[in-house]
Amino acid sequence: MPSAFGNTMPYQADPQLEQFVRELPKTETHLHIEGACPYELLKRFDPIKHAKPPVFWNDYFRYQSFNQFMDLYVEYCSVFFTGAQQFHEAAKIVLANCSSQGCRYVETSFHLGTLLFIEDDGPTIIDAIRSAAPKNLELRIFAGMCHNDYVDAGKDLIEECITWNGLDGIDLHGPEDLPLEPWIAHVWDRARKNGKFTKAHAGEFMGSNFVDKILDELKVNRIEHGVRSIENPKTVQRLVDENIALDVCPISNVKLAVDGIESMSTHPIRKLFDAGVTVTINSDDPFFFGNRLSEEYYALHQELDFSYVELGHLASNGFKVALIDDSKRRSHINELQEYMIQYSK
């Protein structure tokens, strides 16, 4: 079945699986708005460059390195986001697409550093994204920043963003192998004191030691990816004992050729799930992986033997970690449990 991005992925569902996943109440808690940029907007923006679908939509395409991925990110998507209007237009399509796939709750991030190059300020961008959400979708907005962003005007921007009312949280992203500079722990701590939720990318391109380092220094309780925690049983046990959740993006990990993940069938999410780690399922940068959230569920069912009941469990993890009050959480989880009754026998 063609994805929203016009290509065909290897993960196609039979009608029963397609319906089960579509109607399954679910969440998306790891989604970069720039990396989700709809192709139709890019084609309108630069019809010549985007005349043909990008090569990285090929099912067999693998990124050679994270640097190659980031270069393409700038070349294809960052150039499009020149103001609040572009964020609004992209968010409108992206969030409607999430809703059409059964998402009730979405966390999306934008790259904070973009604000250094555009006229509109942070609160304006946040409003532009928030006002694009369909009524039936609960949205949380995060600012993402890299390990080495705390310089010059970037430093002021980081200090400022943790005071913005409309911002729900901050996320550490970009290359993991850059030094974990001391400012990060200070800012993460102050952000939490200001009521912001904090998370960080780790355990994607660096191993389990880096996951431990992030937990020790940044004191987050949610990690983006974190899949290489599997390299050390002690780290896995720590995730369980300390109730740390991983926002996992399986197709992204395969296409970025994360160490130890040659194919979906070798993805560690099965072992992490079986060990009792709270894992959620997400699509990361769908423009760059040619994926849809639904396909992530198909892939887990088809290549890692996740049963319908287990897929329901993964979806409920999304509501478990969602930044919503407990009565809303209960109501989403009740809805999901009601839905699962027909598949639990």
Binding residues for Zn ion, rule: CB under 5 A, are: 284
| Closest among 133, 128, 131, 88 to 106, alpha carbons compared | 133
Shortest distance, position 173 Cβ to Zn ion, whole Å: 6
User: Nearer Cβ to Zn ion, position 34 or 284?
Assistant: 284
Helix axes 293-303, 15-23, angle to 10 degrees: 130
Taking the C-alpha atoms of residue 142 and residue 121, their distance in angstroms, rounded to an integer, is 15
Query: What distances in angstroms separate CA 323 from CA 29, 30, 69, 169, 226, one per listed residue?
Result: 10, 13, 30, 10, 20
Which residues are paired to 28 by β-bridges?
106
Residue 148 parent element (H or E): none
User: Nearer Cβ to Zn ion, position 28 or 284?
Assistant: 284
Shortest distance, position 215 Cβ to Zn ion, whole Å: 18
Shortest distance, position 284 Cβ to Zn ion, whole Å: 5
- Structure tokens, 301: 């069912």
Shortest distance, position 210 Cβ to Zn ion, whole Å: 15
User: Nearer Cβ to Zn ion, position 13 or 322?
Assistant: 322
- Structure tokens, 334: 């009740």
For Zn ion, which residue has the nearest CB?
Answer: 284
Query: DSSP character for 195?
Result: T
Taking the C-alpha atoms of residue 327 and residue 131, their distance in angstroms, rounded to an integer, is 24
User: Nearer Cβ to Zn ion, position 284 or 295?
Assistant: 284
Shortest distance, position 188 Cβ to Zn ion, whole Å: 17
Query: DSSP character for 8?
Result: B
User: Nearer Cβ to Zn ion, position 246 or 340?
Assistant: 246
User: Nearer Cβ to Zn ion, position 289 or 308?
Assistant: 289
User: Nearer Cβ to Zn ion, position 284 or 296?
Assistant: 284
Shortest distance, position 160 Cβ to Zn ion, whole Å: 23
25 with 317: CB under 8 angstroms?
no
Q: What are phi and psi of 109, to 5 degrees?
A: -125, 155
DSSP 104-120: EEEEEEEEGGGGGSSSS
Residue 31 parent element (H or E): strand 26-32
272 with 246: CB under 8 angstroms?
yes
Residue 19 parent element (H or E): helix 15-23
Active site residues: 204
269 with 279: CB under 8 angstroms?
yes
Shortest distance, position 337 Cβ to Zn ion, whole Å: 29
Taking the C-alpha atoms of residue 28 and residue 41, their distance in angstroms, rounded to an integer, is 22
Q: What are phi and psi of 171, to 5 degrees?
A: -140, 140
Task: Please report, as a single letter, which amino acid is at residue 115.
Answer: L
